[in-house]
Chains A and B, each alone.
Chain A
Amino acid sequence: MQIESYIIGRVFDGVSSKEQPARLRVVGERVTVEIDGGATLAYEKSSVLISDRVAKIPRVLTFNDQRTFVTDDNEGVDRLIKPSFFKRSIFSAEMSLRTALLSVAAIVVIFSFLYLVILPEFAVWLAPRLPKSLMTMIADQTNGYLESSGMFSEPTLTPGEMEVLKLLFAELKNEHPDLGIEFLVKGGKSVGANAFALPDARIILTEELVRLSSSQDEIRAVLYHEIGHIFHHHTSRILIERSAISLALLSVGGADALGVPLVLMTASYSRKHENEADRFAAEALLRKGLKPTLLGDVLLKMEEEAKREMGDMKMPSFLSSHPLSTERMENLKKFSSSERP
């Protein structure tokens, strides 16, 4: 004799909000619902819709007359009407602690790999292939901003000083004619002694930096660093990297997630680019028979001057998009010792 098991629950008839305690039974292809102190209803098993099992929430069986039967006995329901393999798998995955821990580990590994390897490599591959029109447009925007912001002024160097610089510029252009580099000298105002590589391969050199340098070779060192940025397509790469991270943060956390996390995550990419530019400069200097530490000397001088302007605040390394000068000096020293024939 078959032992028939009941499932205890409540019926909601979909007409009023009143609950009706009831029991449910499955006999062959029929599902019967016996309402306490009331009618017995019967339905075709195949016409009954069963809600997906999610943790311990009550299970709902929906019948073709809009009535529902709600029960806490999820096990009982699964015993009587077996859920599909797919649904069972998802549910047991959600209930398994081991799956959760494995998932956490997998996510950490995947995202670390994406962040540390995949995205940077993708940026390296894509950067030279970006359409020229896009880069020109970005360059125009940047230039427009620079003009209107009043960040720079006209330089006040003597014509003699400018002539010397023009010779240096011509020599550097000849070393990499295909990059289409142009040089500009500007008065730095609040920016001080500095140099910038723009998206359209123009390099800005401030006159404060010219005055700060004790030799033409120091200027050359800084310009090599900037040419390195252009050679390695750093503007394009950081654009790609920043867009990808923004997209990822947006989809995970919404608009709130942009801002600080974005800055932190792109800072490490910027530092990597700076290291690459340093390496480029070091190799270029060596080829000219100059010491890579020349760049380090100029950088230290620039840092000293910046400190004099801003007070003595040190930024922790991971926040800064430029590696600290002591770090960079160490790296430059390494370049000179390893490349020596």
Chain B
Amino acid sequence: MSSIGSDNALKEESSIENELQVYRSEFRGSATEFFRIWIVNVVLTILTLGVYSAWAKVRTRRYFYGNTFVAESNFDFHADPISILKGRSILVIVAVFYVGLIKLFPAAVILVWLVFAALFPWVYVKAVSFNLANSSYRNLRFGFDPLIKDAYVLMFENWLLVFFTFGFGYPVLLYRYNQFTIRHMRYGAKRFEFSSRWEDFYTIAIVGFGAGAAVVVVGGILAVGLIFLGKLAGESGKFVGSLGIGVIFAFAYAGILIAGAYVRAKTPNLIASASRLGPIRFRSELKGREVIWIYITNALAIAFSFGFMVPWAMVRMVRYRTSRTMLLANRSELDQLVQGETNRLGAVADAAADFGDFDLGF
């Protein structure tokens, strides 16, 4: 029984524990399963004139969170449907008020948008806070706790940035906004960290824009050729001419779509690799062409099925994103995350029970 031998044994055991592992996330739900939940949601929402929609939202979230597994545990969502109902009722009242006001005083649009802009940081913080405080993994809650005044300062600075750069500063805005959001996110007691460079956001924007522009240029050349041919052919060529114009629109649309898809795929990848939770790192491997393909085929399916393919499309997109997301951590690190101050019931209730969830896609 040599002490060296037992030392070695201990070292071996701890080194397995200390090995960096890749934990891929996995979505275990299916479209057929979710369709049935979704259709019952729709029917009950119609029968209750929209009231059930709050419960439908919670059920849907729980289905997607509950079927998302990482390291053998799934996520959970705890929002009280009543809070969501309150938030939605406020939204509906505001929307009706807005539409009515616009019809009566079209000039009031500016005033309304100013008011929205003034409220936006507050609404944003409340909504994200509500959603995160009601989300958990392994019975530890997430959190979002920036000072509201910081959110206002951020928004104000961002407006100045975009204004003085005539919009070219947008990638920097994206960088600052993501940095703010992630640095104020928590899991249990632990803050997320974010370390990226604003230049990286520019790279994505430039490449995306370049790809889109290339498509538009190709379309433009094609269109000019067609219009020219049309003019040559005279009367019978009028159709060819208008086809050329159609081609411009089609290629312009495609260019925007492609640029958008590229940015929408690469940005989460960048954000993931820039984020950490203590020693835990994240990776996202979305591909632009896959994202755009799924997005287009989803849109077509939904359009041609008069909306009945929505659940299928939702599952498809979530499954793709989940399969391309992963954690890099040691087993032991995953187990050592600890409750935060705000995991106590009372404090959770504060953040979570607000007339939360403004359902604005945050």
Contact = CB atoms under 8 A, between A and B. Distances in A.
Interface of A: 12-19, 51-52, 54-58, 60, 66-68, 70, 90, 93-97, 99-100, 103-104, 106-108, 110, 134, 137, 141, 251-254, 261, 310-313
Most buried by B among A51, A54, A67, A100: A54
Contact of B334 (A17, A95, A108, A312): A17
A254 B302 CA distance: 13
Contact of B138 (A17, A57, A107): A17
Given A18-B336, A312-B239, A313-B239, A103 B103 contact: no
A147 B291 CA distance: 46
A312 B242 CA distance: 10
Interface of B: 28-29, 33-37, 39-40, 42-44, 46, 50, 59, 62-63, 66-67, 73-74, 76, 103-104, 106, 137-140, 188, 238-239, 241-242, 303, 306-308, 334-339, 343, 345, 361
B33 A55 contact: yes
Contacts of A311: 238-239, 241-242
Given A16-B336, A16-B338, A17-B188, A67 B39 contact: no
B79 to A, nearest CB: 12
Contact of A55 (B29, B44, B76, B343): B29
Contacts of A97: 36
Sorted nearest first, the 4 A-B pairs with minimum C-beta distance are A57-B66, A311-B238, A12-B139, A18-B335
Main secondary structure of the interface of B (DSSP, over half): helix
Contacts of B306: 108
Contacts of A252: 307
Contacts of A19: 73, 138, 335
Contacts of B36: 94-97, 99-100
Contacts of B46: 107, 110
Contacts of B50: 251
Contact of B140 (A17, A104, A251): A17
Nearest to A261: B303
A124 to B, nearest CB: 21
Given A54-B66, A134-B103, A106 B43 contact: yes
Contact of B40 (A15, A67, A90, A253): A90
A108 B43 CA distance: 11
Contact of A14 (B28, B29, B74, B343): B343
Contacts of B338: 15-17
A100 B39 contact: yes
